[in-house]
Structure 1
């Protein structure tokens, strides 16, 4: 059976006149867009513009909630109570749903951002609070989880529709977590290197760590960070490499995953 892979990118992360990344160019290549909800990045105008472009290009729209940390781009850890965390997720997902409808589309998936994602990967209770909140609002929403981590365990436990994600431009530790950005080699900038390692992981159904360890994984979607230098070149290289190797590329909005 032909394998299908989704290509996703974090976007809508500009703010006012300040521009982050090249969203229009990325939307020509990816099949799913994770759009910031105004807390770690973005604002209503940026959300509206990005979602309209995604609808026009036929790209699936996802909510990308993070901590209320514009200055730190959502990469600083914030400790919140379960109630505060639930309300923060509900607020951002609800806003994303409204903005998507106004743009003529709908939210098809959900992906945690930055420090919130890292904390949810380490602490299953944080993932549980976030995913349950998303389920309450949108029971059939597809949850992007870092493949083969506690995030996936929680999604399975809750009976979520979920998709396993790997990163084209990030190095991995031996436990399938991401190498901290402060370490050399944590972010991959070379498009051909990124495309080669993605193909290797998809064909082997495994995450390959920086040390060469193979970790069995369900890989449904591949992320390219919109704020990474060479992000457009990386996205194009990954897509062309997959297609050349007879791996179909399609949006999560057209697929269903539940375990």
Structure 2
């Protein structure tokens, strides 16, 4: 069965039809740049462009980089503040003329990884971290999601952790992989102290290059693995949510 998923990020908006029997994209994904400012209306236009590229009609899932409760976006760290309190489900449904479900981006990626990827069949406490413009998190206890954890906003040395350990921080500060890995290790150690996970799954675009940084991270008790669905996990998770509409 094919469903459609769209993943809104701080840098790009990407989407594709998803084969839910295989847990993989059914077609090559299409991406547009996230507008700046990333207002609700301009982002909705970007989502419409992605959906229109495929001529998709019918239900779809859309991820958002922030807390989402019953289709309402509660936070907006890497997009315009106009998203705070926005009924995103209604906004996007009206813009597209199709049924839409909206969920946190890392939660969507985590559900996909737990079903089809690196977390498949794992019990205990599993924590997926998406490293990109910010840091998203999805926490699972015996396969059950604890939604909207947003652990990228934990304070680390006086800063939001994502301001120090995201991929954007590495790129903006032109950090070497070694320097960035030290920062990431400190963040993982902090999260491990709070949640004692059995497994860390590292997602986002950087999961395509695990050899660059994972061997440099030491002193963490939990197993650390790259996301198997890599940066497509959010799209797959969004499509999974759409299948429940």
Q: TM-score range by the shorter chain?
A: 0.3 to 0.5
TM-score (normalised: structure 1) = 0.36
TM-score (normalised: structure 2) = 0.38
| Bigger strand share | 2
